[in-house]
Amino acid sequence: MSMSKVMVKKVDQFRSEVREWIIANCPDEMRDGDTSLEGICWGGSLWEFTSAAQSLWLQRCVDIGWTVPTWPKEFGGAGLTDDQGKVVEEEMLALGARLPLYNMGIVMLGPVLLKYGTQAQKLTHLPKIASGVVRWCQGYSEPNAGSDLASLSTKCEDIGESWLVNGQKTWTSSADKADWIFALVRTDSSGSKHQGISFLLLPVDSAGTTVRPIELISGKSKFCEVFFEDVSVPKNYGDDNPSMVGNVGEGWEVATYLLKFERGGLAGLREKDVDLIGLATEEFGLDANGRLDSSVFRSDLVEFLIEDMAFRAAGESLEKEKYAGGNNAVKSSVLKYAGTKIIQREFELRMDLEGANALELKDVKNDWGELSQKWLYSRAYTIFGGTSEIQLNILAKRILELPSK
């Protein structure tokens, strides 16, 4: 038997084992095909499980390291290869199993610590992320430093054994539900704006820290403002466990490394697949030729489906590159730009189908109806995580190599 056939056999055997384990251990309630972020456990000390099944599914995956299957076992993972991790992901999706855990610690901070963290930092933070014990939020954007992130001004002074932090972060997702925050702070203002930035880890409940939710036009929001007023952060949380990740003043490298994971993840902000063709057929019916009996909506729908298919194919290609160890930083900007536009278009089509019914209020508390709320919230997708304009600038400079002026 050739080596290639042996490898295929091993992969097929592993896939079969993964499938059998999921079938045996994933509660039926957690196998409803809901891939939306709303159906996932986010973890943290403030998390309230939606059901006993959600708690059980998380614990079973934690026990075998499948919340972060490719992380080393000592950090709470399963120590799987990238190819094996891909198989676990594919089989969960194929069986309709919900992700057992998802948060910024897993998709953003975890990769950063694995690359830049000390051994003590990894042992302190990664197992708590993998088990869902601690939830992290991201302190990047500021009132005057959003898309131009390097203009941040949150000040971090050296006061001996501690750092003294003063400033403000905004659009901080789920800061009111997080336990810790990883924040970009300015430790030196003497050089260029990309210099003197550091990557700091601190508890959200640190004395002097205030979190205020921001309400959006949808009536609800996961965004918050975070204020730091003379917040004292220890330089070290223990031996070889500094509160800074990477060298002091060299946080821009760490920050930009993280962004490729953020933007790649934001591209996949899709809720459970919606049968737009079925909904449209129900609404308009079919003409004598078996086509959707609305030429306008039919044209809009076909255009959307083609773009969506191309986006999904590009996403699969990027995933393959990621598991092969490729550098996908710039390509993640392609997906972020295209994916968020497609999400907005999908909600627009759904609103068109629902008509006036889509604007119904959900209950007597004057909450927005579910669809209209999501439609309104989708306007933020092309802003957070780097605006669409910023993504286009990145593509123009890094892929097309166009001049700045």
pLDDT digit string, tens, across residues 213-246:
998 776 667 889 999 999 999 999 999 999 999 9
Active-site residue identified among 225, 262, 348, 389: 262
Query: Where exactly does CATH 1.10.540 map onto the chain?
Result: 3-102
Q: What is the pLDDT of residues 22-73, one digit of tens each?
A: 999 999 999 998 877 778 899 999 999 999 999 999 999 999 999 999 999 9
Residue 365 has pLDDT above 50, yes or no: no
Q: Residue with structure tokens 């986006």?
A: 311
The distance from CA 90 to its chain's CA centroid, rounded to whole angstroms, is 18
Query: Where exactly does CATH 2.40.110.10 map onto the chain?
Result: 136-249
Query: Where exactly does CATH 1.20.140.10 map onto the chain?
Result: 267-398
| Residues paired with 137 in a beta bridge | 181
pTM: 0.78
Between the alpha carbon of residue 334 and those of residues 36, 123, 174, the distances in Å are 22, 34, 26
Architecture of domain 267-398: Up-down Bundle (1.20)
- Own/partner long-range contacts of 205-214 (Cβ < 8 Å, ≥24 apart): 205/179, 206/231, 206/232, 206/233, 207/231, 207/232, 208/165, 208/232, 211/172, 211/175, 211/176, 213/176, 214/170, 214/171
Distance between CA atoms of residues 66 and 98, nearest Å? 12
Q: 216, 225 in Cβ contact below 8 A?
A: no
Q: Residue with structure tokens 């969960």?
A: 92
Q: What is the pLDDT of residues 67-86, one digit of tens each?
A: 999 999 999 999 999 889 98
142 has catalytic annotation: no
* CATH 1.10.600 is the classification of domain 3-102: no
CATH of domain 136-249: 2.40.110.10
Distance between CA atoms of residues 70 and 51, nearest Å? 27
